[in-house]
Amino acid sequence: MSPDIKDLRAIERFVVAEPLTGSFGAAGITLLDIAEQGAQIEHAQPLRLGSRARLWFKRGEVSASVHALVIWSRLSDKPNDEGKLLYHTGLRVDDPQTTFAPAIQALADHGVIRRDTESLERKRRKYFDREQERSSKPSVKLIKSEDISPDQTLLIQHARERLQNDPEEARKWYNRARYAIVESSAPIAAEVRGREDVLAVWEYLERSVPLSTIVRVFEKKM
């Protein structure tokens, strides 16, 4: 097994087996799944893309409090008690080694969360389906867009600065992106071929931002 594949699979994701609630800033949240690098949360009020706040949760004697960044957010098909749809949001944790990683281990030991053994295959299927929708022939290509929102610009800039300050982490995210592309047999567009920085940010943001948008923001900063 290559180091790239090993690094990808070493980052385990856990699904919440028992109710686990907390807060993100002023918003009350329910955790849906969790990993050392971040979490997916469910909440009633919208959260702004690129916003940063403190993620907090507590279950018995286990608690965590870390800063996190909103990297994607969308309406789910699940309504709350009032019939309004809830939001699902992906968070990226800034410093998982403080209280976050130990809390994940403790929650797993107590059976509150369990390893998501199907997450890798699910990501592969989602990626492949998304690329098929864009083209009859799956490919990782630049999708032209007219405007880039200020939120997206700040989000990309934040991700880029973080990875520039941590080359080892940047390499890890690039390896994950490359492995996902290889697994899907999707060719890389010429505009991003060899752009490790672009692909690292794309993967860091869970491929929630088009490659074309990342490239354009990078070019504006140069």
For position 68, what pLDDT does the model report?
A: 94
Kindly report whether the global pTM for this prediction surpasses the value 0.75: no
pLDDT digits (tens, 9 = 90+) for 5-52: 334 434 678 999 999 999 999 999 999 999 988 999 999 989 998 899
d(CA 12, CA 37): 9
> Cα-flanking dihedrals φ and ψ of residue 66, to 5°?
-140, 155
H/E stretch holding 24 reads: strand 21-24
Q: Which whole-number Å values give the CA distances from 15 to 68, 167, 221, in the listed order? A: 19, 29, 38
pLDDT at 78: 85
Cα(22)–Cα(173) distance, integer angstroms: 28
Q: Show the low-confidence residues of the chain (pLDDT under 50).
A: 1-10, 136-139, 141-145
Q: Could you give the maximum distance between any two Cα atoms of the chain, in Å?
A: 52
Q: How many CB atoms lie within 10 A of CB 17?
A: 13
